[in-house]
Chain A
Amino acid sequence: MGVESKLGNFGVVTTTLEQVVNWSRTRAMWPMLFGLACCAIEMMAAQASDYDMSRFGMELMRASPRQSDLMIVAGRVSRKMAPVLRRLYDQMPDPKWVLAMGDCCSCGGIFNNYAIVPGVDEIVPVDVYVAGCPPRPEGLIHGILTLYEKVTGEKIDHWS
């Protein structure tokens, strides 16, 4: 775990620290540069000038899973890709979040056959699902804001 494992409960100190840390995490959540299909195109569109995600501290798509906090699964996950995806998730240091972008990775979407994992939450725990095929960049950003709300409410003792 991150800072949480080193912390006992110091009452008010913990709460303020909690607020500061959550603040920093929601302001600087670095996504991993990890595209799978059509949705990756819209994810890149959200990175580009028009829907500039650097406003939310996502300026740097981290290429290395070691440095990323958020895995945006953009596109359907094939059976062959699933173990790789889980390994990438393991390589990310805690705390880490997963956002399932689009139908295919949320629940298989239109593909329900032998080759597709019916929902990436069969492989890794997912925090936020964004519907759409693919979602607009605004939709993706809305999903990210939903995730931020979720993270802001987190407590230190829930972390570890």
Chain B
Amino acid sequence: MGSTTIMNNIPNLVALLIFPAGLFLLLCGLFYEWADRKLLAQLQNRIGPRWFQPLADIIKLLAKEEVIPDGVNPTLFIGLPIIALAGGLTAALYVPIVGLLPSYGLPGDLIITIYLLSLLTLCLGLAGSNTLDRFSLVGATRTLTQLFSYEAPFMLALLGPAFVARSWQISVITTFTNNRWLILSQPLGFLVAVIALMGKLELPPFDAPEAETEIVAGALTEYSGRGLALFRLGKGVALVIGLTLIASFYLGGVTNPFLFFVKTLTLLLVVVALQALLTRLRIDQTVGLWWRYGTLLVLAQWLVTIVWHGVAT
């Protein structure tokens, strides 16, 4: 009996620990981080890091002493990075990583995914406010402020395809969007989604929460070894998931894995170009940008879509 349950569960275990979630996903995250840095370097007329750079960073961080500063709650200090990474990994289970169908699916898992993604940011904020360091505090405040500013537009932008697909289940949406390039019918939604993804990952120009020239390293100022490594991995995973979601929703679904890979890379190139082009926004400017433009844009997109469907049916 026990053996049979184990036998039945082996696929699940594999899906959880090795492929498509777990190890494979971490490696994906590292790869995309490397691609990000390499492309950025190319745009800045540099050579850029070697292919194993993110891996070396992670190993080095894992082998490094972890300093737990005074006045923090050790449980939180150690636990938060783990929770952040776990959230990301769990979210990956519902997402068609590298163009494969998601390992799990249930009605409304789109919402779950989005909130598991924002778990990372929440953990960042908590980690910052957990320490006594002034820079961490300011960084945490900025992180949370930014979270509240881009979350709604990101959500709405991802719900656009869900609306036309008449479902909140990712697998259904992706099958619906196969060879339907929603970027053509919902360009504004696509734009907002991409920029919101940059805000979510705190990439320039939305890196005010970790602006090194103002607040040393933001919420992570006090994190040295393992914690930092886990947070970096978490960000890598979030990058993969975000790219996958947007590509599968707006860029014609997940017809074949290789094509999908190319799509995500193209999307990454766009993100990198924006990073290289734009100056860092002050936190108030970020908030203003999101509430004054982002939300309005995506709402306008919604209006158009609704009216269009009303006309069509």
Interface residues of A, Cβ cutoff 8 Å to B: 1-3, 20-21, 23-25, 27-29, 33, 49, 52, 54-55, 57, 59, 61-64, 66-67, 69, 91, 93-95
Contacting chain A: which of B58-66, B141-149, B191-199?
Answer: B58-66
Contact B60 A24 (CB under 8 A): yes
Contact A49 B44 (CB under 8 A): yes
Interface residue? B48 (CB, 8 A): yes
Contact A93 B60 (CB under 8 A): no
Contact B64 A93 (CB under 8 A): yes
Chain A residues near B62: list those with CB within 8 A: 3
8 Å CB contact of B224 from A3, A55, A66? A66
Contact A52 B56 (CB under 8 A): no
Name the CB-closest residue of A to B67: A93
Interface residue? B180 (CB, 8 A): no
The interface centre, meaning the residue of A21, A28, A59 with most chain B CB atoms within 10 A of its CB, is A28
Q: A2-B225, A54-B47, A59-B49 are in contact. Are A69 and B60 (CB under 8 A)?
A: yes
Please report whether the interface of chain A is mostly helix, strand, loop or mixed according to DSSP: loop
Bitwise interface map of B from 45 to 81 toward A, beta carbon under 8 Å scored 1, else 0:
1111110110111011011111100000000000000
A-B pairs with beta carbons under 8 Å apart, 18 shown: A20-B59, A23-B56, A24-B56, A24-B57, A27-B50, A28-B57, A29-B60, A49-B44, A54-B49, A55-B47, A55-B50, A59-B37, A63-B213, A66-B67, A67-B220, A94-B65, A95-B64, A95-B65
Contact A52 B41 (CB under 8 A): yes
Chain B residues near A55: list those with CB within 8 A: 47-50
Please, how many angstroms separate the alpha-carbon atoms of A57 and B48 in the complex? 9
CB distance from A96 to the nearest CB of B (A): 9
Please, how many angstroms separate the alpha-carbon atoms of A82 and B55 in the complex? 35
Contact B66 A57 (CB under 8 A): no
Chain B residues near A21: list those with CB within 8 A: 59-60, 63
Please, how many angstroms separate the alpha-carbon atoms of A33 and B213 in the complex? 10
Please, how many angstroms separate the alpha-carbon atoms of A102 and B228 in the complex? 32
Chain B residues near A61: list those with CB within 8 A: 212
8 Å CB contact of B46 from A24, A54, A66, A91? A54
Please, how many angstroms separate the alpha-carbon atoms of A27 and B59 in the complex? 10
CB distance from A26 to the nearest CB of B (A): 9
Q: A54-B46, A54-B47 are in contact. Are A66 and B56 (CB under 8 A)?
A: no
Contact A67 B217 (CB under 8 A): yes
Interface residue? B190 (CB, 8 A): no
Name the CB-closest residue of A to B46: A52
Please, how many angstroms separate the alpha-carbon atoms of A101 and B122 in the complex? 41
Bitwise interface map of B from 12 to 46 toward A, beta carbon under 8 Å scored 1, else 0:
00000000000000000000000001000100111
Chain B residues near A28: list those with CB within 8 A: 53, 56-57, 59-60
Please, how many angstroms separate the alpha-carbon atoms of A2 and B67 in the complex? 10
The interface centre, meaning the residue of A23, A52, A59, A63 with most chain B CB atoms within 10 A of its CB, is A63
Please, how many angstroms separate the alpha-carbon atoms of A64 and B63 in the complex? 18
In order of increasing CB-CB distance, the 4 nearest A-B pairs are A24-B59, A27-B56, A63-B212, A93-B65
Please, how many angstroms separate the alpha-carbon atoms of A2 and B59 in the complex? 12
Please, how many angstroms separate the alpha-carbon atoms of A152 and B277 in the complex? 38
Chain B residues near A66: list those with CB within 8 A: 67, 217, 221-224
Contact A49 B217 (CB under 8 A): no
Q: A23-B56, A63-B217 are in contact. Are A93 and B224 (CB under 8 A)?
A: yes
Please, how many angstroms separate the alpha-carbon atoms of A95 and B215 in the complex? 25
